[in-house]
């Protein structure tokens, strides 16, 4: 059959946000922020986190099964039939493109990609995603007792089906048994895709085309009974994400890498010819809701803590040497974001509010331990996908969550944000970085002894205040467009080139300004007034010696002076003195 591609692209300039539990909606249209109270309704079967245990084979309708209800946007594309071959397409453009994407990938896949698809098909998914731990992969497998029997591709794999007889994520009696138990709990009796597969009866790609799109070594893995072989949603993808969510809860230091590994496994289902992009998207969305529901369940509170503590006392204290296939952040992000929608156009309204599902904040609980639940919900709200994509506009908002971006912190400050970090608690309590481009009208206040780094090209306009600890600007516009006040912490400049403060800068007697200088272009540019007291710390790096008269700070007008100057990193035969000018601060440099 001839399959048409969807080529419609819709530019989205509107992002609306809704937090169910606080009944708060914030609507971004250009630079205008509007607040109103909206309480989004649950799906017909109730809020997912409250009823996830109804995902069992006895419940086979949208209203009785929360997983089917969650995925029921697919009913706008496809009407299930009474048998696997009697369903009806409602949107030929999307569904034809869905299969064509598989055909196109099959035509250009490489031998190594086929091998990877074979391993991700035949190995247990809980074992496969372990390599999202990067250098810690081999240590985890040894300590957890995680093993697989699919260590190579047999010569007769094109004729014989091989099953993994390994130990999945490991043994619950191992030294990492709590992590293993958490993985098993998320993949427990209420996490199966079979009820949804049975309801939707959507055939797999090779049943729309032919076995020729399958990786040859996986032909023996075909279920001979098409009625028990539904494509939507992908079970492998669901299992991979559930396992990764469990491991990411215990090891949030590898949060994005583990989710990227799950995303890769889901993509390999398409490479294999076993599933379509919409199947994989459905598996991800279902796993996201299930992970949040199970992690939110009070019955699992002690297990969550045990898994986290175990990871940080027995695994992260070790030095691993395994290959890290997910060490490139930019590649991880590009691939993960692309796989959220697989290039489908927006076929529905692009102006629906960004809804944050009930209980979703638990997915960031260990990633942002220094924030409260409401703050975590705001992160999810300000990093979500636009509306309108196929399958993703479920009533609760699970489909539009973008957890890779959420792991990089706020996407906007819709209201004032206070961050209180405690260095003594270690981990992300001590040091964290936000890599998103933060917009909005809110203000950022940094409290506590921990260190927060801002790496995005930020435009938030409410201003920045630091009371304790350190706040580091790692991009040219890290501190947005407002005033910056340092009331007692350390404000660090760590940019190659110019760091800009768009408004005024005020520093109290207890404040510290740290400039890291590695070349003549390193400069703090204050567009407004500078009212300065306290300490200036100049840290010279890369053996840099500034020229006499070098400018390190510029401003519109200056008031006051630093009471203390600290110098580190300057070669011992040089000394510098700070010179105050009407619109700048310069350095007088001499040899000793």
Question: Which stretches of the chain score pLDDT less than 70?
Answer: 1-41
Give one DSSP letter per residue of 304-358, joined into a string: HHHHHHHIIIIITTS---S--TT--HHHHHHHHHHHHHTT----S-S--EEEEPT
The token duo for 232 is 């939507």
Instruction: Indicate whether 106 and 221 sit together in one domain.
Output: yes
Write down which residue in 296, 323, 347 finishes a domain. 347
Amino acid 592: pLDDT: 84
What are 230's strand-pairing partners? none
pTM of the model: 0.93
Instruction: Indicate whether 328 and 417 sit together in one domain.
Output: no
Write down which residue in 324, 347, 370 finishes a domain. 347
Please give the Cα distance from 55 to 289 (Å, whole number).
12
Amino acid 16: pLDDT: 47
Q: Closest by alpha carbon to 181, among 304, 93, 311, 364?
A: 304
Q: Would strands 564-568 and 512-517 be described as parallel, antiparallel, or unpaired? A: unpaired
What strands, in cross-sheet order, belong to the sheet with 551-554? 498-501, 523-526, 551-554, 584-591, 574-581
- Quote the crossing angle between the two packed helices 301-310 and 235-250, to the nearest 10°: 70
Q: 3-state SS of 380-427?
A: HHHHCCCCCCCCCCCCCCHHHCCHHHHCCCCCEECCCEEEEECHHHCH
Domain that holds residue 482: 412-591
Instruction: Indicate whether 328 and 432 sit together in one domain.
Output: no
Q: How many domains does the chain have?
A: 2
Instruction: Indicate whether 239 and 98 sit together in one domain.
Output: yes
Residue partners of 420: CB distance under 8 A and separation at least 6: 370, 447, 448
The token duo for 240 is 């991979």
The answer to whether residue 18 sits within a structural domain is: no
The token duo for 441 is 């009208």
Instruction: Indicate whether 304 and 427 sit together in one domain.
Output: no
Domain of 220, CATH number, reads 1.20.144.10
The answer to whether residue 13 sits within a structural domain is: no
The answer to whether residue 151 sits within a structural domain is: yes
Q: How far is CA 38 from its chain centroid?
A: 26
Instruction: Indicate whether 339 and 250 sit together in one domain.
Output: yes
The answer to whether residue 12 sits within a structural domain is: no
The answer to whether residue 219 sits within a structural domain is: yes
Amino acid 45: pLDDT: 74
Instruction: Indicate whether 329 and 467 sit together in one domain.
Output: no
DSSP 8-state class, residue 64: T
CB 394 within 8 A of CB 72: yes
Instruction: Indicate whether 298 and 433 sit together in one domain.
Output: no
Instruction: Indicate whether 454 and 573 sit together in one domain.
Output: yes
Give pLDDT tens digits for 233-266.
999 999 999 999 999 999 999 999 999 999 999 9
Write down which residue in 312, 347, 382 finishes a domain. 347
The answer to whether residue 3 sits within a structural domain is: no
The token duo for 487 is 């009331």
The answer to whether residue 511 sits within a structural domain is: yes
The CA R_g of the chain, rounded to the nearest whole Å, is 27
Please give the Cα distance from 386 to 215 (Å, whole number).
34
Amino acid 23: pLDDT: 32
Instruction: Indicate whether 310 and 420 sit together in one domain.
Output: no
The answer to whether residue 43 sits within a structural domain is: no
Instruction: Indicate whether 202 and 127 sit together in one domain.
Output: yes
Instruction: Indicate whether 560 and 477 sit together in one domain.
Output: yes
Q: How far is CA 327 from its chain centroid?
A: 15
């Amino acid at each position: 059959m001839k399959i048409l591609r969807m080529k419609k692209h819709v530019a989205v300039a509107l992002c609306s946000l809704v937090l169910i539990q606080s009944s708060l909606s914030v609507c971004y249209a250009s630079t205008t922020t509007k607040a109103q109270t909206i309480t989004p309704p649950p799906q017909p079967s109730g809020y997912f986190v409250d009823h996830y245990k109804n995902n069992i084979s006895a419940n086979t309708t949208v209203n009785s099964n929360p997983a089917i209800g969650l995925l029921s946007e697919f009913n706008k594309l496809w009407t299930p039939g009474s048998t696997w071959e009697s369903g009806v397409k409602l949107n030929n453009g999307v569904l034809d493109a869905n299969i064509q994407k598989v055909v196109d990938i099959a035509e250009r896949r490489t031998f190594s990609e086929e091998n990877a698809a074979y391993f991700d098909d035949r190995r247990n998914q809980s074992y496969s995603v372990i390599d999202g731990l990067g250098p810690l992969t081999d240590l985890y497998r040894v300590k957890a007792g995680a093993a697989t029997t699919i260590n190579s591709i047999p010569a007769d794999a094109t004729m014989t089906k091989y099953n993994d007889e390994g130990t999945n994520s490991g043994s619950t009696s191992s030294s990492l048994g709590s992590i293993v138990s958490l993985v098993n709990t998320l993949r427990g009796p209420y996490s199966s895709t079979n009820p949804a597969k049975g309801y939707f009866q959507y055939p797999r790609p090779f049943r729309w085309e032919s076995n020729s799109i399958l990786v040859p070594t996986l032909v023996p893995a075909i279920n001979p009974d098409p009625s028990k072989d539904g494509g939507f949603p992908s079970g492998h993808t669901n299992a991979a994400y559930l396992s990764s969510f469990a491991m990411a809860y215990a090891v949030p230091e590898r949060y994005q890498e583990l989710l990227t590994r799950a995303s890769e496994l889901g993509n390999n289902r398409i490479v294999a010819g076993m599933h379509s992009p919409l199947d994989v998207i459905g598996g991800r969305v279902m796993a996201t809701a299930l992970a949040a529901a199970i992690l939110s369940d009070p019955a699992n509170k002690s297990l969550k803590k045990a898994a986290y503590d175990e990871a940080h006392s027995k695994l992260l204290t070790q030095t691993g040497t395994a290959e890290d296939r997910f060490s490139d952040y930019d590649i991880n992000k590009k691939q993960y974001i692309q796989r959220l929608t697989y290039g489908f156009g927006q076929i529905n309204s692009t102006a629906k509010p960004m809804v944050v599902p009930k209980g979703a904040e638990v997915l960031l609980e260990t990633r942002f331990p220094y924030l409260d639940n409401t703050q975590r919900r705001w992160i999810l709200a300000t990093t979500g996908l636009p509306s309108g994509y196929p399958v993703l506009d479920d009533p609760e908002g699970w489909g539009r969550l973008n957890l890779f971006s959420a792991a990089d912190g706020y996407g906007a400050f819709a209201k004032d944000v206070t961050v209180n970090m405690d260095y003594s608690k270690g981990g992300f309590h001590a040091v964290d970085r936000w890599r998103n481009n933060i917009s909005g009208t809110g203000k950022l206040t940094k409290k506590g002894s921990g260190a927060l780094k801002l790496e995005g090209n930020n435009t938030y306009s409410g201003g920045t205040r630091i009371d304790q600890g350190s706040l580091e600007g790692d991009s040219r516009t890290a501190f947005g467009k407002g005033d910056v006040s340092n009331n007692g912490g350390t404000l660090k400049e760590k940019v190659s080139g110019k760091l800009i403060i768009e408004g005024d800068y005020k520093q109290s007697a207890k404040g510290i300004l740290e400039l890291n200088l590695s070349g003549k272009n390193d400069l703090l540019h204050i567009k407004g007034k500078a009212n300065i007291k306290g300490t200036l710390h100049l840290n010279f790096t890369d053996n840099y010696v500034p020229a006499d008269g070098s400018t390190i700070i510029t401003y519109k007008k200056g008031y006051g002076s630093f009471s203390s100057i600290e110098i580190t990193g300057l070669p011992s035969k040089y000394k510098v003195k700070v010179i105050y000018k009407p619109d700048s601060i310069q350095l007088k440099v001499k040899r000793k």
